[in-house]
Amino acid sequence: MNPARRCSALLRKLCVSSLGGPTERRPFSPGAVSGPAGTRNCHPGVGRGRVKGTYPQMKPSGASTTGAAAVSPMGGSSSSRLFGTLAQSLSSSPLAQPHMYPDENPDHDLDQDLAEIDPNQLLRECEEALQRRPARPHRDLVYPSGTAPCRHKHNPSIRVMQWNILAQALGEGKDGFIHCPLDALNWQERKYLILEEILTYRPDILCLQEVDHYYDTFQPIMAGLGYQGTFLAKPWSPCLDVEQNNGPDGCALFYRRSRFSIQTTAHLRLSAMMLPTNQVAIVQTLNCQVTGRSVCVAVTHLKARSGWERLRSAQGADLLQSLRSITSRGGSSSQTEAASGPVPLVVCGDFNAEPSEDVYRRFSSSPLGLNSAYKLLSSDGQTEPAYTTWKIRPSGESCSTLDYIWYTHDALSVECLLDIPTEEQIGPGRLPSYHYPSDHLSLLCDISFREEPHRLM
């Protein structure tokens, strides 16, 4: 069976609801989206036009929606069954969940054996599954002043995506998004919105937080798309407090196998004041098979909520200390590379901290020489976006910048970034919604290695 036909068969299985038939999607009138009734005007690829629809009337969470299908809590057993079938179709053996803090990458051998999925076909079928939802408003790739696309075949750019995708158990069970219809959070559809976003931009490195469907969804699908993945759960995930949860949430890191090979992996449980906390980080040193150069990638999710600023600062200090040790060139296999200094860093995460917080200052002033990529969207190159998350809870409206992509500015350069949607594009109900699957926006940038003096000789 060719990859396209296999992909189609798998997606048809995923489209079937727990009631035995296709999931109905009629949360708004046909006129809510420009174009023929019931169609989704969404064109794959960056830089191509999309038809923007008007926003459907947002209803308080839990309100009834005419024609909407019954929603199984958490995407519950039906979701697990469906994606269990997918995983078994892609691999001859089921995926086993590893220990909490393994020393090695638990998915290394499993991912190699999974069948190939055609990403274009999968993207088309995601769009077909979402045809009754409004298209995601188009986001432009912006080139900061003085930069241009890297055309050097020996040093192509590396696309990095950072995204808190919103744990399913938290979205439906704890977060209280009072202007988001419960139907919009249905995992049987929301998973397609997440996959559509990833497939549209096709990052080389993907860093995710609040992943509570790793083993039954993201690991088998991303492996079939050619990615190597690893996952680290929170020790005491709040998802476990929600009835019919899908297990703990945590951080996940994926890299494209055709572009990188793995050198080292570290799974960290972050400490504060010498005490272990509930937050974690994954740190991997990757070798770029095109340039032969190494890059260290980290993904983390720091403590949430106001009042915990000192804890976040301590967690950041602990992570920075670990990164300094990991990126030292002492273990380099190349004498030339060892002489060139520390391995350059890319650190992605939901820091749950505004730029005014101490943990942000720790990263921006670190001896590791880190800069925040999204500052480059501002006119002066020194100001973060106004928001990366915008939500309405019973406690009120929250519009904050909490998510970042940090990079070693002396060794890496940022060529372009995915722009932040406007308030109009986000809509009055804020995030999440029918066309934004998470309460956080995805961040994306293309980076490349700066030329080093010894490489120019």
Please give the tally of structural domains in the chain.
1
Give burial (CB, 10 Å; 0-12/13-18/19+) of 143.
Answer: middle
Using alpha carbons, list the distances in angstroms from residue 110 to 6, 11, 49, 153, 225: 19, 21, 38, 31, 14
Give the CATH number of the domain where residue 150 resides: 3.60.10.10
Please report whether residue 421 resides in a domain: yes
Q: How far is the CA of 61 from the CAs of 187, 191, 454, in angstroms?
A: 15, 19, 59
Strand 389-393 vs strand 396-400: parallel, antiparallel, or unpaired?
Answer: antiparallel
β-strand pairing of 403-408 with 412-418? unpaired
**Does 339 reside within a domain?**
yes
**Does residue 306 lie within any of the structural domains?**
yes
Phi-psi region of 113 (alpha: psi -120 to 50; beta: other; left: phi over 0): alpha
pLDDT, position 188 = 92
Q: Is residue 404 part of a domain?
A: yes
What is the percent of the chain where pLDDT is above 70? 70
* 3-state DSSP assignment of residue 155: coil
- With respect to residue 54, please indicate whether it lies within any of the assigned structural domains: no
Closest CA to 265 of 440, 108, 432, 422: 108
Query: For each of the chain's 457 residues, which pLDDT tens digit applies?
Result: 555 555 555 555 444 433 333 333 333 332 333 333 333 444 334 433 333 333 333 333 333 333 333 333 444 433 333 343 333 433 433 344 544 444 444 444 545 555 689 999 999 999 999 999 988 899 999 999 766 565 567 789 999 999 999 999 999 988 889 999 989 999 999 999 999 999 999 999 999 999 999 999 999 999 999 999 999 999 999 999 999 999 999 999 999 999 999 999 999 999 999 999 999 999 999 999 999 999 999 999 999 999 999 999 999 999 999 999 999 864 444 444 555 679 999 999 999 999 999 999 999 999 999 999 999 999 999 999 999 999 999 989 999 999 999 999 999 999 999 999 999 999 999 999 999 999 999 999 999 999 875 554 4
Instruction: Report DSSP letters for 68-104, one per residue.
Output: PPP--GGGHHHHHHHHHHHHHHH-SSPPPP--SS-SS
118 neighbors 3 (Cβ within 8 angstroms): yes
Instruction: Report the alpha-carbon distance of residue 377 to residue 373 in Å, rounded.
Output: 8
Q: Is residue 435 part of a domain?
A: yes
Asked if 117 contacts 41 with a C-beta cutoff of 8 angstroms, the reply is no
| pTM of structure | 0.80
* Confidence (pLDDT) at 413: 96
Q: What does the alpha-carbon distance between residue 55 and residue 363 come to, in Å, rounded to a whole number?
A: 38
Any idea which residue has 């055309």 for tokens?
151
Q: For residue 311, give the nearest of 372, 354, 349, 358 by alpha carbon.
A: 358
Choose among 244, 164, 240, 174: nearest CA to 208. Answer: 164
Whether residue 441 is contained in a domain is answered as: yes
Q: Would you say the C-alpha torsion 338, 339, 341, 343 has a positive or negative sign?
A: negative
Q: How far is the CA of 302 from the CAs of 169, 218, 308, 387, 445, in angstroms? A: 19, 22, 10, 17, 21
Q: Tell me whether the omega of the peptide bond preceding residue 432 falls within 30 degrees of 0, making it cis.
A: yes
- pLDDT of the residue at 422: 97
User: pLDDT tens digits for 441-451?
Assistant: 999 999 999 98
> What is the spatial distance between Cα 413 and Cα 144, in angstroms, rounded to a whole number?
11
> Using CA atoms, how far apart are residues 254 and 214, in angstroms rounded to an integer?
11
Helices 187-201/119-129 angle, 10° precision: 140
351 within some domain = yes
Question: Can you give the residue range of the structural domain that contains 146?
Answer: 141-456
